[in-house]
Structure 1
Amino acid sequence: MGIRTTTGRAHKAPADSRVTLAHIMSEHDTNLYGTIHGGVVMKLIDDAAAAAAGRHADGPAVTVSVNRMAFLAPVRAGDLLTVHAELDRAGRTSMDVTVQVTAERWNASGPTTEVATAQLTFVAIDADGSPREVPKLTTSA
């Protein structure tokens, strides 16, 4: 169960892995209080973060942990939820991804609202499910 090296570039910038997902929330996602279930938002966060990690790793990556998650404001049916994910750290096989979630209130004219933030850790895997190396993350000085 050794570590395999990725076939991609040796270094990648955070912008190379950036992912933005958008989803219009519907009534079937609501809880008894008329707001969107936290688990629905969490799934969108995990989807965006996994896509960012996979882009960086040039292949599949699996969630290892949710290091931090905060719900800052409620999400309602009809809101356009936008989920932004970007790598902020790459180890030998693991990657940390930061996610910011905003809601655009379609039913009212007003500013876009930050509704959640999260930070997750992923590990790149090969076809056998074994960890494999990922490119280094370059940062601007």
Structure 2
Amino acid sequence: MFKHPKESRITITQLMLPSHSNFSGKIHGGFILNLMDQIAFACASKHSRNYCVTASVNKVDFLNPIDVGELVTLKASVNYTGRTSMVVGVRVESEVVQTGKKKHCNSSYFTMVAKDDNGKNVPVPGLILDTEESVRRFARSLARQEQSRKRSNRFKSSEFKIEEHLESIKSQNAKLELK
């Protein structure tokens, strides 16, 4: 079975309240992460028609702060499907209600795994890639997976070569005291 990405897309908008803020008066990053996880869950569950769990989150960069009183809109779409997993792209934007000015606050990729009632992984519908954008997103997910595998292997303790890294560490805010 295959589905179009648009069949599972979800958008939510929420007003940011003082209870969502940190000590500096900006919206707490953990609150935004919670919303992102919720929308990724909803999108993946809608696509798979199963309960889904978060397996990993790829890179969360907070690009712009969000103020109390702004509207935050989160958009989620399934970008990639494996056998039992999906990569859900999540975009966060804020909007100043009085001016309509919008800011891109962050984008991230959640790998979600579909589960049955017994907690076992279950197959998910594949994606129908019928636009250049959907092909780009799918290919980008494949590239991120490959980069992750290479990064994991390069720093595996059995593969790590300390001499390849000592020079670059010396120019950092660290003090080497190897014995």
| TM-score, scaled to structure 1 | 0.90
Partner of 2:116: 126
Q: Relative contact order (alpha carbons < 8 A, sep ≥ 6): 1 or 2 greater?
A: 1
What per-residue deviation string (whole Å, max 9, x for no partner) do you get for residues 30-56 of structure 1? 111110000000011111111110011
Indicate the RMSD between aligned Cα atoms, in angstroms: 1.0
Give yes or no for the alignment of 1:36 onto 2:27. yes
* Distance of 1:96 and 1:112 partners within structure 2: 26
SS of residue paired to 2:32:
helix
> Which structure 1 residue ranges, 5 or more long, are not aligned?
1-9
Greater Cα radius of gyration, structure 1 or 2: 2
Partner of 2:42: 51
* Distance of 2:110 and 2:59 partners within structure 1: 7
Paired residue total? 131
Partner of 1:75: 66
CA contact (8 A) 1:50 1:61 kept: yes
Write 1 or 2 for the structure with the bigger share of strand.
Answer: 1
Identity of aligned residues (%): 37
Give yes or no for the alignment of 1:104 onto 2:95. yes
Tell me which of 127, 135, 139 is aligned to 2:125: 135
Deviation, structure 1 residue 73 = 0.4
Moved over 4 A (4+): none
> Which structure 2 residue ranges, 5 or more long, are not aligned?
132-179
Deviation, structure 1 residue 83 = 0.3
CA contact (8 A) 1:68 1:120 kept: no
Give yes or no for the alignment of 1:87 onto 2:87. no
| TM-score, scaled to structure 2 | 0.71
